[in-house]
Amino acid sequence: MSLPHIPPNWEGEEPCWKLIAGVMELSEIDLILVEMKGIGWSLEQGRSYLKRNYNKCSRQQLNKDEIREFLNYLKSLPSIGIG
């Protein structure tokens, strides 16, 4: 990779490429997938749990309280230790 363009009559330090680490925040509904992966659940296992406990077929059908409750439940389960 070459240096960034230096405009004519540039004063100061030479410009350089800077890598900036960004922070990406996941929504609680996305964190459910992260937690499911951490405990080794498949999507089908998650759907089955939602059907039994909330009578709903997907995370998108949960209200905010149900999302938090489900997420907290998943966090309470032992991790399979991947990664």
Closest CA to 34 of 24, 21, 22: 24
CA dist., res. 70 & res. 4, Å (int): 48
Please report whether residue 51 resides in a domain.
Answer: yes
Please report whether residue 9 resides in a domain: no
pTM value is 0.68
Residue 49 lies in a domain: yes
SS3 for 6?
A: coil
Whether 59 is in a domain gets the answer: yes
CB-CB neighbours of 29 under 10 Å: 15
pLDDT in tens, 27-63: 999 999 999 999 999 999 999 999 999 999 999 999 9
For residue 59, what are the domain limits? 28-76
Per DSSP, helices labelled H in 3-81 are 28-39, 43-54, 64-76
Split into its structural domains, the chain has a count of 1
Domain-located, residue 18 = no
